[in-house]
Amino acid sequence: MHTLVRRRVLAAGLLAAGIAPLAACGRKPSRGQTVPSGATVLALGDSLTSGVGASADTAYPAVLQRLTGWKVINGGISGDTSAQALQRLPELLQKHQPALVIVSIGGNDFLRRQSASATRTNVHKICADAKAGGAQVLLVAIPELTILATLGQLSDHGMYEDIAKELGIPLHRKGWSGVLADARLRSDNIHANAAGYELFTQGLVDTLKDTGLLAR
């Protein structure tokens, strides 16, 4: 059997078995420029960023600073919506002039049943404005509020994938979804504990390395 025919037969067999070839199933992440040690990084978000459920030194921005050598500014405010984070962003950018902004916002919008369209617009503008201000941006996906979520089966809201693709920015997937689905990693139903923030940050560091934002 000729080589080309063998390849076609193999590909047909894989598809019939429901297995896509590796080259076709990999999701290639958006790449960024490496942020050097000592650079200022802004972590923008709500209570999951501020560190509710743990001490200040175990909140994820503090853990990220320890793991990377960056100067990580904790820009998380408990209870903040995407609209409030968008309103705070210009002052934070002007004050800190970060090389990278990590955006983790939207959970309070979902909990308060606010318009998904408005939330999407706000998150998109936060990321776009941070880019326009000269920073690189990493977007963190937030779990969608569904009936399954109340049973501990969390999944990322699809808007984050869409926004990341539209703006060509890296996305950290399944970070909060993975942590908050495990009762051992939570301080309550919607916040991590110290172990949860540590695990989240370790996964975030992997994404930063995979996307080139952090040197390996």
- The answer to whether the beta carbons of residues 74 and 97 sit under 8 Å apart is no
Per-residue confidence (pLDDT) for residue 187, from 0 to 100: 95
Please write the tens of the pLDDT for every residue from 97-130. 999 999 999 999 999 999 999 999 999 999 999 9
Examine residue 5 and state whether it is found in any structural domain, yes or no: no
Examine residue 169 and state whether it is found in any structural domain, yes or no: yes
96 is catalytic: no
Containing 89, the helix (H) or strand (E) segment is helix 82-96
Please write the tens of the pLDDT for every residue from 17-74. 333 332 333 456 678 899 999 999 999 999 999 999 999 999 999 999 999 999 999 9
Task: Answer with the residue of higher pLDDT: 26 or 183.
Answer: 183
Examine residue 20 and state whether it is found in any structural domain, yes or no: no
> Total structural domains in the chain?
1
37 is catalytic: no
Examine residue 1 and state whether it is found in any structural domain, yes or no: no
Examine residue 16 and state whether it is found in any structural domain, yes or no: no
Catalytic residue from among 47, 50, 82, 104: 47
Examine residue 196 and state whether it is found in any structural domain, yes or no: yes
> Is the pLDDT at 178 greater than 50, yes or no?
yes
Give me the mean pLDDT over the 80-97 stretch. Answer: 98
Give percent above pLDDT 70 in the chain: 83
State the average pLDDT for the chain.
Answer: 87
Task: Answer with the residue of higher pLDDT: 9 or 200.
Answer: 200
Rounded Cα distance, 185 and 201, in Å:
13
Rounded Cα distance, 162 and 140, in Å:
12
> Is the pLDDT at 15 greater than 90, yes or no?
no
Domain that holds residue 35: 29-210
Q: What is the CATH number of the domain that holds 77?
A: 3.40.50.1110
47 is catalytic: yes
Query: Edge-to-edge strand order for the sheet containing 71-76?
Result: 71-76, 40-45, 100-104, 136-140, 171-172
Provide the phi-psi class of 97: left if phi over 0, else alpha when psi is between -120 and 50, else beta.
left
Catalytic residue from among 55, 115, 188, 206: 188
Per-residue confidence (pLDDT) for residue 14, from 0 to 100: 34
Per-residue confidence (pLDDT) for residue 30, from 0 to 100: 73
Catalytic residue from among 124, 157, 172, 191: 191
Examine residue 22 and state whether it is found in any structural domain, yes or no: no
Radius of gyration of the CA atoms of the chain, in A: 19
Examine residue 187 and state whether it is found in any structural domain, yes or no: yes
